[in-house]
Amino acid sequence: MVDTKTASAASASSRQEETPPVRLLGSGPRRWRWLVLAVGMMTVGGLGGILAMEQMDERQGVLVADSDLSAGHVVTAQDLRVARIAVADGVSYVAAERLDEAVGQTLTLPVTQGGVLPEVALGADAEFPEQDRAVVGVALRAGRFPSSMVSGTAASVVVDPSDGSDSGAQVYRALVRNVTPSTAEDGSVTLELVVASNDAADIASAASAERISLVQVNPRGGS
């Protein structure tokens, strides 16, 4: 006679041995791989934050023009504003904390709106115009100059021959310091030109005889 209790116990023991062990979620080598990956991502993120902060720290306050400023202009506090930018090595600029120092000085170079005020553009009243430069005033009728000409434009002054011939025109380099439209509303203007001292007399004489025209040129070269 078979003992049913003993058979049942043996069957249950056999089933327990055949059941595979249950692995807990997150245990074993896979869990460590995820932990290592998470730590690595946190480290990279931290380094990225540090690099971003370092880049921000490289920005500095500089003075920029709040409008187009011509050479010879006396700087006022309203002409300038402060901007925080990263300045490349070798770029001339005036630091924001020198605002009071910049006010009252005369620009020796034109500065366009939004442009960084360069250190080399500041000078005392006695330094403008420079020793080998002169300022000449000329009146021009419409058609004798480009309508796009503004303060700071590099130009060539073309002087027609005094005998009225088509050949032998003289060309001089100039910088437009100021442009003032005529009150006559006929398109004519009065301009102040910064020219070489040796050319000033010839240009002034030709201007009084209405024998000059202006051509806009690239400021880096050309005639």
pLDDT given at position 86: 85
- Tens digits of residue pLDDT in 128-147: 777 788 999 999 999 999 98
User: pLDDT by residue (tens digit) across 87-110?
Assistant: 777 778 899 999 998 988 888 878
In this structure, the strands spanning 212-216 and 189-196 are unpaired
Q: Which residues are within 8 A (CB) of 119 and not within 5 positions of it... i.e. 6 or more apart?
A: 92, 93, 94
pLDDT confidence of residue 51 = 47
Q: Which residues of 22-53 are buried (b: 16+ CB within 10 A; e: fewer)?
A: eeeeeeeeeeeeeeeeeeeeeeeeeeeeeeee
Q: Is the pLDDT of residue 19 over 60?
A: no
- How many CB atoms lie under 10 A from the CB of residue 207? 19
Instruction: Give the pair of three-digit tokens for residue 134.
Output: 């002169």
What is d(CA 96, CA 137) in angstroms, rounded to the nearest whole number? 35
| Residue 153 pLDDT greater than 80, yes or no | yes
The pLDDT assigned to 162 comes to 80
Closest residue by Cα to residue 120 from 97, 92, 95, 99: 92
What proportion of the chain, given as a percentage, has pLDDT over 90? Answer: 31
Q: Are strands 122-123 and 106-107 parallel, antiparallel or unpaired?
A: antiparallel
109-113: list long-range contacts, CB under 8 Å, 24+ apart. 109/71, 110/68, 110/69, 110/70, 110/71, 110/151, 110/152, 110/175, 110/177, 111/65, 111/68, 111/69, 111/152, 112/65, 112/68, 112/69, 112/152, 113/65, 113/66, 113/67, 113/68
Under a CB-based contact definition with an 8 Å cutoff, are residues 107 and 73 in contact?
Answer: yes
**Does residue 109 contact residue 151 with C-beta atoms inside 8 Å?**
no
- What tokens were used for 51? 């690099």
The pairing of beta strand 122-123 with beta strand 133-140: unpaired
Q: What's the mean pLDDT when you consider all of the chain?
A: 77
Pick from 3-7, 29-33, 69-73, 76-80: least confident: 3-7
Contact 202/208 with Cβ under 8 angstroms? no
